[in-house]
């Protein structure tokens, strides 16, 4: 009984997390970090399928609390049925909800897509604007989504701070901030602007594949020598 109790105790032990003695300043380690990211994630890219800015905007709204793979299963039929902002703007909300049901939170997402598209039709001739200042004026669109659209649909660099990027940047010691906008502003001067979009995808891929929120695989991580946070969880 004692041994069983001890085993249970051992199983409950939280992962050992060390804050490393790494004292390399962000400006000094960003170069090697970028090199390693290029080596390990040379093809990192947006994993949402789209052929124009409107499709990416809609796909990005649908991707909230949903995997990109699931969104990509829904969007081919959706994009065929609603080829323009005007189609979404005048759609039956109930029908749009059914069309996006599989992505979850379908009521809120349908309302959001229709609201955005009504503004696009009323103020932007149905086109998605190619500027951060204009994009963030659209209902429910923040800097992250705006940067996703700018970087991937318009080729205008932007740092897209999602939950993965924020977590990895914090652990690497590139920022001490928790607020996504503050993280973005910490990273902008560190990373050359032409690298912002690719760097974002690389950090997001790293967060998904190795630096998971609960169990980062630090012993397999190529960024280990530059990281401020090392978990020995097994």
Distance CA 106, CA 26 (A): 41
Q: Does 168 bind ligand SF4 (CB under 6 A)?
A: yes
Judge contact between 142 and 135, C-beta under 8 A. no
Would you call 228 a catalytic residue per the annotation? no
CB of 216 to ligand SF4, least distance (A): 4
Question: How far is residue 234's CA from residue 225's CA, in Å, rounded to a whole number?
Answer: 19
The minimum distance between CB 211 and ligand SF4, in angstroms, equals 3
Of the residues 172, 183, 190, 204, which one makes contact with ligand SF4 according to CB under 6 A: 172
211 binds ligand SF4 (CB under 6 A): yes
Distance CA 165, CA 204 (A): 5
Q: Which range, of 70-78, 102-110, 144-152, 210-218, touches ligand SF4 by CB under 6 A? A: 210-218
Does residue 223 touch ligand SF4 according to CB under 6 A?
yes
Cα–Cα dist 82/110, whole Å = 12
Choice among 29, 109, 144, 198 that is catalytic:
144
Other CB atoms within a 10 A radius of the CB of residue 23 amount to 8
Which pair of structure tokens corresponds to residue 165? 């990027």
Does residue 210 belong to the site contacting ligand SF4 (CB under 6 A)? Answer: yes
Q: Kindly state the smallest distance separating residue 96's Cβ from ligand SF4, in Å.
A: 39
Of 202, 216, 232, 233, the residue at the interface with ligand SF4 (CB under 6 A) is 216
When the beta carbons of 29 and 109 are compared against ligand SF4, the nearer one is 29
- 144 belongs to the catalytic site: yes
Contact flag: residue 227 with ligand SF4 (CB under 6 A): yes
85 alpha-carbon distance from chain centroid = 24
Residue 221 binding ligand SF4, by CB under 6 A: yes
Q: Coil, helix or strand for 89? A: helix
- Residues 6+ away with beta carbon under 8 Å from 182: 175
d(CA 31, CA 229): 19
* Interface pick for ligand SF4 out of 171, 173, 180, 234 (rule CB under 6 A): 171
Q: Which is nearer to ligand SF4, 145 or 231 (CB)?
A: 231
187: contact with ligand SF4 by CB under 6 A: no
Cβ proximity to ligand SF4: between 13 and 214 the closer is 214
The reply to whether 149 sits near ligand SF4 by the rule CB under 6 A is no
Long-range contacts of residues 103-109, Cβ cutoff 8 Å, at least 24 apart: 103/62, 103/63, 103/66, 103/70, 103/71, 103/74, 104/65, 104/66, 105/64, 105/65, 105/66, 109/61, 109/62, 109/64
Which sequence positions are flagged as catalytic? 144, 162
Binding site for ligand SF4 (CB under 6 A): 168, 171-172, 210-211, 216-218, 221, 223-224, 227, 229-231
């Amino acid at each position: 009984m004692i041994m069983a109790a001890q085993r249970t105790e051992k199983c409950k032990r939280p992962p050992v997390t060390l804050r490393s003695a790494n004292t390399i300043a962000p400006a000094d380690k960003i170069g090697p970090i970028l090199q390693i990211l290029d080596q390990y994630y040379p093809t990192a890219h947006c994993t949402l399928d789209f052929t124009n800015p409107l499709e990416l905007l809609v796909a990005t709204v649908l991707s909230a609390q949903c995997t990109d793979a699931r969104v990509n299963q829904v969007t081919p039929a959706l994009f065929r049925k609603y080829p323009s902002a005007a189609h979404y703007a005048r759609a039956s909300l109930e029908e749009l909800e059914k069309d996006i049901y599989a992505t979850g939170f379908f009521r809120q997402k349908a309302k959001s897509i229709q609201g955005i598209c009504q503004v696009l039709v009323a103020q932007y001739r149905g086109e998605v604007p190619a500027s951060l200042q204009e994009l963030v004026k659209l209902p429910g669109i923040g800097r992250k989504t705006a940067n996703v659209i700018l970087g991937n649909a318009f080729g205008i660099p932007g740092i897209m701070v999602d939950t993965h990027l924020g977590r990895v940047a914090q652990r690497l010691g590139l920022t001490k901030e928790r607020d996504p906008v503050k993280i973005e502003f910490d990273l902008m001067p560190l990373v050359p602007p032409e690298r912002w979009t690719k760097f974002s995808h690389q950090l997001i891929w790293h967060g998904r594949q190795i630096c998971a929120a609960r169990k980062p695989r630090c012993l397999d991580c190529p960024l280990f020598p530059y990281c401020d946070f090392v978990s020995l969880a097994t």
